[in-house]
A and B are shown apart, each in its own frame.
Chain A
Amino acid sequence: MRVELRATPFDPLAELARYQANQRELQGRYGATAIFIGTMRDYNDQSPVTGMTLEHYPGMTERHLQRIVTAATDEWTLLDALLIHRVGALQPNDPIVLVAVWSAHRAAAFAACRAIMEELKSKAPFWKREETTTGPRWVTHNTPG
């Protein structure tokens, strides 16, 4: 299991491939991998967004991400999990978050991946500040899903 904050742009599929190749204990055991990749859009609330800053609470953010992933591994029978989340300055099209979950069968992988994302959205201390053509603005709420 790995949980990581990343201050620079990352390629989620390359990260996933690299991580999976290095997890020897996964080989031959997993039948299901569920993946969620969140990517920055160039619009929000009907207006163009040209950039974004992701602020976090150093210490608390890492602790809560770790707890969220651990809770998922307690609730479902998972073989492994990987979570990478950006902080700092982002551009449209930049990946924001990668969640990958490995299990023997699909039900646990799908459910755990979804649960990790929903918990992250509601509990992990991150705040988005968008750059727009009319100046910066804080994102005040999450979309329903």
Chain B
Amino acid sequence: MTIHIKYFASLRDRLGRAEDRLPLVGEMTAAEVWATLWPEMPLPPNTLIAVNMDYAQPAQPVNDGDEVAFFPPVTGG
């Protein structure tokens, strides 16, 4: 029962790592995943969330084996 977490770009630099793993305990939302991993740090404003490579809202539930990503606004093109 594990959730895989990824961080990208400036957020990864700020956090000092690109990935985390978290045991899934009961029901959890994407926002709760962040709060569990970074209890001292509110999710930075404008942070985007993806669950299994689709954009997600903070309240989206996550399931065992899901990949949850947190990243800053995108700047491609």
**B69, A55: Cβ atoms under 8 Å?**
no
**B69, A141: Cβ atoms under 8 Å?**
no
B74 at the interface (CB under 8 A from A): yes
**B77, A123: Cβ atoms under 8 Å?**
no
Binds B, one of A20-28, A105-113, A126-134: A126-134
Contacts A59-B53, A60-B50, A63-B53 given; indicate if A142 touches B6 (C-beta within 8 A). no
Q: How many residues from B make CB contacts under 8 Å with A?
A: 17
**A124, B74: Cβ atoms under 8 Å?**
yes
Binds B, one of A8-16, A70-78, A114-122: A114-122
- Please, which residues of chain B bring their CB within 8 A of the CB of A35? none
B71 at the interface (CB under 8 A from A): yes
- Please, which residues of chain B bring their CB within 8 A of the CB of A124? 74, 76-77
Binding site for A on B (CB under 8 A): 6, 8-10, 13, 50, 53-55, 69, 71-77
Q: A129-B9, A140-B73 are in contact. List 18 more A-B contacts (CB 8 A).
A: A54-B76, A55-B9, A57-B50, A57-B69, A57-B71, A60-B53, A60-B69, A85-B76, A97-B77, A123-B74, A124-B74, A125-B8, A125-B76, A127-B10, A128-B75, A128-B76, A138-B13, A140-B72
